[in-house]
Chains A and B, each alone.
Chain A
Amino acid sequence: MADNLKCSNCNKEATVHLTQIVNNKIHKVDLCESCAQKKGVTDPQGFSLADLLSKTALTPDSSEASLVCPNCGLETSDFRRTGRLGCSACFQVFGDLVRPALEDMHVGLTHKGKIPEVALTRQNSQAQLQALKDSLASAIAEEAYEEAAKLRDLIHELEVAVAELEVTEA
């Protein structure tokens, strides 16, 4: 690991990394060897499955699936360390890690404010347009020319609509 994490108990270098879930909220705990021993987290007797399911269960880091964002490369450990997301796609990948953190942070858990209608419509039409173009390509490849002609008309209509949403480049 590039930067050594410090034991949250005594400040020595941490070698045991745990994720503690209390009341559905995720808390990260890093411990050094000796503190981990004292707390019994390395002792299989003191760390039963029952404990894992109880409200103060400690979940070893290794059991937490390490996720990676396909768009920006952010990993679970990056998010844990910095508390920052790397791109829009991260919210799909790390959503289940973000949600519990929001409870203490905000008034509510879902957006109640402004919605960027124009931008969303434009993004949706663009996605739709791409899908139609893909279908057109395969229709042509399959020599389904009647289908291709229909798709071409649809694409044209949508392109006109999209053009109206686009503002001319400055």
Chain B
Amino acid sequence: MIESLIKSDRAELTQSTRKGSPVVLSTRVRLARNLSDIPFPERATSAQRSDVLSKCADHIGGLKQMKSGAFFDISQLSELEKQVLVERHLISRELCESEQGSGVIINKDQTCSVMINEEDHLRIQFLKTGFNLNSVWKQMDRFDSDLEDLLDVAFSSEFGFLTACPTNLGTGLRASVMMHLPGLVISEQMERVIRAVNQLGITVRGLFGEGSDATGHVFQISNQQTLGESESEIITRLGSVLKTIIDHEVNARFKYLEENRAKLLDKIGRAFGVLQNVHFLSSNEAMNLLSLMRLSVDFNMLPESNRSDVDRLFIECQPGHIQYAAHEGIEPELRDIARADKLREEFSHLPPLNFDKVGESK
């Protein structure tokens, strides 16, 4: 069912041509919304859930932002299809587990998805590559206002937008940015950063795996608090924390390069060699190798034009994507072979690493 979505040559996360950012992979904003007169999904009857699903699918599908979008009934998708959508951040794991009467609408370039009957009636998400908090929020705000004209949303002047879980009350807004932080990890500063931003109500999670040395050095950083601040205050506060993290990351990279030049270039060089010759590769190891390749673009060892390839491979090397491409649910061992074949092929087209301008400003 999701064939056209995966084959699409316009998907934001895997096909973006916009100029990439050295530290930020992508920006996401989500809003939690509920209809005022129907119990939240968990307490709704199955008839009420189906009503919400068809009503919201109709209204949202009709919005101009959703033109030529696709609607999927979750109960109609296979486990593998759901996994692929999770890996693309288009649906949540929680939605996959949901019973009858849940769905998702995804727009053409996969920048917007609306989950229906997840924990709340609606979970709206906008996503863009790079560091784009303000513009993604603006898109979201417009979409939300258009939606408000069509549906009666649950709202109270005290608690704001009403949500099943009190942690989402108020704005219902969660903004998160996916950051590549190899410098902070290698220089063992990540734990300190996590603790410091936690104090500011900001959460850090490993994207692939937990803890301060997440696989692939990719972290998802988001606001925890939704009530008591306006949307723009939340965005501004998160944005300024993220800018600080970006500065720290860039400094850590250059400091490490200065002090451990041979060691770092060796690590990147070996990773490149592995990727061109590998025949068996686990998902974790692939993420770590790709992390070094992203760093090599930042250090001018690979052309800037290859950044989007590396970012695409972060997604396409996930277990679901590897299996989906093989047209069947294949065993982990065969997956590791398929993943290696894919990366070997992709990296055979890249120019050799250029060690002449390492770390010079672009």
**Residues in A lying within 8 Å of B, measured CB to CB:** 71-74, 83-88, 91, 95, 98, 101-102, 105-116, 118-120, 122-123, 165, 167, 169-170
Tell me how far the C-beta of B31 lies from the nearest C-beta in chain A, rounded to whole angstroms.
9
Q: Do B149 and A109 touch (CB < 8 A)? A: no
Q: Do B170 and A113 touch (CB < 8 A)? A: yes
Q: Do B164 and A84 touch (CB < 8 A)? A: yes
Beyond the given A105-B225, A114-B144, could you list 20 further A-B residue pairs with CB under 8 A, ordered by the A residue number? A71-B39, A73-B43, A83-B165, A85-B40, A85-B162, A86-B39, A86-B164, A91-B159, A98-B159, A101-B166, A106-B228, A107-B227, A107-B229, A110-B228, A111-B158, A112-B229, A113-B160, A113-B173, A116-B161, A119-B155
Q: Which 9 A-B pairs have the closest CB atoms?
A: A108-B228, A111-B160, A170-B62, A86-B43, A107-B228, A106-B227, A113-B171, A72-B39, A87-B39
Looking at B39, B40, B226, which has the most chain A CB atoms within 10 Å of its CB? B39
Q: Do A111 and B61 touch (CB < 8 A)? A: no
B274 at the interface (CB under 8 A from A): no
- Chain B residue total in the interface (Cβ 8 A): 49
Q: Which residues 261-307 of B have a CB within 8 angstroms of A?
A: none
Complex Cα spacing A113 to B225, Å: 12
Residues of B contacting A87 in the complex (Cβ-Cβ under 8 angstroms): 38-40, 43, 154
Report the tally of A-B residue pairs with Cβ distances under 8 A. 127
Q: Residue-by-residue, is B122-159 near A (CB-CB < 8 Å gives 1, otherwise 0)?
A: 00000000000000000001001100111111111111
Q: Do B40 and A111 touch (CB < 8 A)? A: no
B51 at the interface (CB under 8 A from A): no
Partner of A110, one of B38, B58, B227: B227
Complex Cα spacing A109 to B228, Å: 6
Tell me how far the C-beta of A73 lies from the nearest C-beta in chain B, rounded to whole angstroms.
7
Q: Do A102 and B227 touch (CB < 8 A)? A: yes
B37 at the interface (CB under 8 A from A): yes
B36 at the interface (CB under 8 A from A): yes
Tell me the dominant secondary structure on chain A's binding face: loop
Residues of B contacting A102 in the complex (Cβ-Cβ under 8 angstroms): 166, 169, 227
Closest-by-CB residue of B relative to A126 is: B152
Tell me how far the C-beta of A83 lies from the nearest C-beta in chain B, rounded to whole angstroms.
7
Closest-by-CB residue of A relative to B43 is: A86
Q: Do B166 and A98 touch (CB < 8 A)? A: yes
Complex Cα spacing A35 to B62, Å: 59
Residues of B contacting A85 in the complex (Cβ-Cβ under 8 angstroms): 40, 162-166
Closest-by-CB residue of A relative to B227 is: A106
Partner of B154, one of A83, A88, A114, A169: A88
Q: Residue-by-residue, is B304-330 near A (CB-CB < 8 Å gives 1, otherwise 0)?
A: 000000000000000000000000000
Given A98-B166, A106-B226, A119-B152, A111-B43 contact (CB < 8 Å): no
Partner of B157, one of A71, A72, A111: A111
Q: Do A111 and B150 touch (CB < 8 A)? A: no
Complex Cα spacing A74 to B160, Å: 21
Complex Cα spacing A87 to B148, Å: 18
Complex Cα spacing A18 to B89, Å: 41
Q: Do A116 and B148 touch (CB < 8 A)? A: yes
Closest-by-CB residue of B relative to A117 is: B148
Residues of A contacting B150 in the complex (Cβ-Cβ under 8 angstroms): 167
Looking at B59, B154, B157, which has the most chain A CB atoms within 10 Å of its CB? B154
